Amino acid sequence: MPYDVNLNFVFRFPTKIIFGPGAAKEVGMEVEELKGTKALIVTDRDLVKTDLVKIVRDALGAKCVGTFSDVTPDTGVHIVNAGSEYGAALGADTLISVGGGSAIDTAKGMAICLTKGGRLEDHAGLNILDGPVMPHIVIPTTAGTGSEVTYAAVIKDHEQKRKLLFADNYLIPNVAILDPNMTIGMPKGLTAATGMDALSHCIEAIHSMQSEPIADALAFHGIRMIREFLPRAVENGGDIIARGQMLIAATIAGAAFSNAQVGMVHALAHCIGARFGVPHGIANSILLPHCILYNLDACPDRYSRIAEAMGKELRGMDLLKAAEQAAIAMWEFTKAIGMPQTLREVNVEESGLEQCANDALMDGAIVYNPKPIFDPAEILKVYQKAF
């Protein structure tokens, strides 16, 4: 069945990808290629105690001028500012983020401050930069965020309890080193949640108002890879093939949504995350099937193809029924990998949903949702179903 296509689009994917078990050891050569001599590692408080950071530090040798390890989950403006001051004092000229989305986004924020000067809060917004920022090499230790190839950083203003978006093509990292050995130690719950973030990126790229064929190609293949390899990675963390394929799936999902954008799943999840501290992948995972059902009649052809990619048998079904199978596939898949199914289970308070609905309407992602939303009451209904 045909579906609507966008007649005008731009696809950008400038990040160099290096993949393979042990590839993290090549980081020194990548710094050299970027003409760097003083690399600063940006990582979190837990990872800095592990061998993962040591591997990167050893590989950098004399090129490493320091390690900033104060990143927390849901990184904050104050953390980025502290890291930037530290990096400036050391004269750092290259950033190496080692970690999940929080460490990567911290380094993106630091790249802005270390290049442009000032504090991070002076630079929030879209298309904020007028030129390249400090080179950034990413070594992900989770497989989900896609931030290793995206132009955006989400950094929390902890005082205001809101997430600030920094978005500019100059923030796209120069290099992503995808080394499955770096994700082997990820616990089951984090593996499942971050993998569901990647699956949300694929589905949102496909249903986005700005979807286009190149992003579609990546996103549909991403869905098939995640369907096959996420359960394996959750089941057996030491499965190096599954770990590697999930890293690739997360990266291509990142490339897809960085170009095609995301929609209401992310808009609603951002607000639940900001207000109740629900981890991003978990919030996405719970909201995903409810948002598919809300959007169902806006692009049933797309959802039926998603259902197909998830392995659903659609023969004999009419289009809407086939599309509905995408939501059903999400529930089956998330149950199988042990994800929470309701917002209630993850300590969201029902009384806070109305405010979240108002906030979600202001989130930048909502404008790309396939079904236009102007009334927060519509969003509240979706939250209540997910509650």
What is the H or E stretch that residue 154 is in?
strand 152-157
Nearer to Fe ion, 144 or 370 (CB): 144
Residue range at the interface with Fe ion (CB under 5 A); choices 30-38, 197-205, 290-298, 321-329: 197-205
148 binds Fe ion (CB under 5 A): no
For residue 135, the minimal CB distance to Fe ion (Å) is 24
From the centroid of its chain, how far is CA 275? Answer: 19
- Judged by beta carbon, residue 30 or residue 197, the one nearer Fe ion is 197
Choose the stretch contacting Fe ion; rule: CB under 5 A; options: 8-16, 90-98, 195-203, 328-336: 195-203
Give the residue closest to Fe ion by C-beta. 197
Q: Whole-number minimum distance, CB 360 to Fe ion, in Å? A: 14
The least CB distance from residue 75 to Fe ion, in Å, is: 14
How far apart are CB 226 and Fe ion at their closest, in Å?
Answer: 13
Q: Name the pairing type of β-strands 152-157 and 162-167.
A: antiparallel
Span from 127-135, 190-198, 309-317, 345-353 in contact with Fe ion (CB under 5 A): 190-198
The packing angle between helices 300-309 and 188-207, to 10°, is 140
Q: How far is the CB of 261 from Fe ion (least distance, A)?
A: 11
| Nearer to Fe ion (CB atom), residue 181 or residue 284 | 284
In the complex with Fe ion, which residue's Cβ is closer, 94 or 251? Answer: 251
Identity of the residue numbered 309: A
Near Fe ion in 229-258, by CB under 5 A? none
Count of positions on this chain that bind Fe ion (CB under 5 A): 1
Beta strands across the sheet bearing 136-140: 16-19, 175-178, 136-140, 94-99, 39-44, 64-71
Residue 305 CA to residue 121 CA, distance in Å, equals: 41
For Fe ion, the closer of residues 197 and 212 by Cβ is 197
The residue (of 63 and 201) whose beta carbon lies closer to Fe ion is 201
Q: Which is nearer to Fe ion, 193 or 293 (CB)?
A: 193
Site stretch for Fe ion (CB under 5 A), options 130-138, 193-201, 248-256, 320-328: 193-201
Give the burial string for 233-268 (b: 16+ CB within 10 Å, else e): bbeebebeebbbbbbbbbbbbbbbbbbbbbbbbbbb
Shortest Cβ 124–Fe ion spacing (Å): 19
Amino acid at 149: V
Query: In angstroms, what is the minimal distance from the CB of 143 to Fe ion?
Result: 12
Q: What whole-number distance in Å separates Cα of residue 267 and Cα of residue 370?
A: 13
Distance CA 38, CA 89 (A): 12
Regarding 74 and contact with Fe ion (CB under 5 A), the answer is: no
DSSP 296-357: GGGSHHHHHHHHHHTT---TT--HHHHHHHHHHHHHHHHHHTT----TGGGT--GGGHHHHH
Residues in the chain: 387
> Which of 59, 143, 121, 144 shows the shortest CA–CA distance to 96?
59
Which of 179/197 has CB closer to Fe ion?
A: 197
- Decide: is 197 part of the binding site for Fe ion (CB under 5 A): yes
Min dist. Cβ of residue 197 to Fe ion (A): 4
Binding-site ranges for Fe ion (CB under 5 A): 197
